Amino acid sequence: MEKNKLDITLLCGGISAEREVSLLTGTQIAEALRTLGHRVWQSDISPTNLSALDRKPCDLIFPALHGTFGEDGQLQHILEHRNLPFVGSGEAASRLGMDKAATKSVLLENNIPTANWQVVYQNKFKENWTPAAGIGYPCVIKPISEGSSVGCKVCMNAEQARSYLAESLPKYGSMLVEEFVDGLELTVGILDGKTLPIIWIKPATEFYDYQAKYTREDTQYVFDIPLPSDTLAQIRTAAEATHRVVGCRHLSRIDIMVDKLTNAVNVLEINTMPGFTSHSLVPKAAEHAGIAFTELCDKLARMALRDAAVNSH
C-alpha cells in the first residue's frame, strides 16, 4: 500500500431527521479525502444494515452522521465493540452530548456556566404550568436530543410556552425549558482539544434556525467579535472545559451565549459530530485558522488512527 494513503469507509445518511444534511456532509468529506489520494468508500448505514462495517480493506471509519443512531452513541458502541478505529467521540461522550439536559448537569457539576433550565415531562405536564424560578420569560423550549435547532422555539409568555409544550410533548416525551439569554450567539469549534477561532453568528432572522443553518445565505459569520479580551478568554476556557468534561475527542462544537448587559458566558450545548457542509461552522473556523477543508478531513482521519494505536498498546 502506498505510504500514508488510507482506505476509509465513510458513513453518511442514516435514519435521523438530519439525513439530508448528513448526505451532503458525507459527499464533501469524501471528495476532500479523495483529493489527497485516500481511497474512500461512501456508504449509508442503519441499525438494521451494518454491512458497511464489514468492508475490507479498511483502515478507519469516518462517520458523517448526525442525530439518532449516528451521533447518539449507538453507532459508536458498535464500532468500539468491533475494535474499529473511527473519527469522533466514543460511545459515552456521544450519548452524553446528545442529551442536552444531562450535558447541562455535567457542566453544573464542573462549575462551567450554563443558562438555568428545567426538564418538563409529558406525563407531569399540567395546563397551568409555569417555569421554575430563575427561568422566567422569554424562555427557550427545545427537545432534549435533537440537533440543528429542530423543534426549538423562543416563547415570550406563559400562554406561548404552555401552548408549545402541549404541542411538542406528545412528539418528544420531554422538553428542555431554558432561560433566554439575550446577547451574542457564539460557536466554538474544538479540534484535538484546542479551540478554533470563535465565530459570532449574526442571523438576519430573529432566531438561528434550521433554514439559516443550512440554506440561507444572509446569516453572517463574524470572527471580529465586539467583546473584551478577558471575556473571549473565558469563552475559550469554557469551550475547552466542556469538550473535556463531556469526554469528547478529535472534534466538537460548543454553542455559547454571552449576555449583552453583563458579558456573562453561558454554555448552551455541545455538538459531538458537527456538520461539515460548506455552510458549516467548524470548517469555517478551521479555514480562518489556516487549515484548509482537505487538511481538516485528513487530520481527523489520522487522529482516529493515532488514538486506535494508543489504545491497542
Beta bridge partners of 154: 140
The catalytic residues are 18, 148, 214, 253, 255, 269, 271, 275
Q: Where are the alpha helices (DSSP H) in 173-292?
A: 210-214, 229-246, 281-288
- ω into residue 57 within 30 of 0, thus cis? yes
Measured distance CA(187)–CA(151) in Å, rounded = 20
What Rg, from alpha-carbon coordinates, does the chain have? 20
Calpha distance 266→264 (Å, rounded): 7
- Cβ atoms of 308 and 60 within 8 Å: the answer is yes
Q: How many residues does the chain have?
A: 313
Q: In the chain, what are the helix, strand and coil shares in percent, each to the nearest 5?
A: 35, 20, 40
Handedness of CA 18, 24, 28, 29 (dihedral sign): positive
Angle, helix 293-312 to helix 19-35, in steps of 10 degrees:
90
| Cell numbers linked to 249 | 475527542
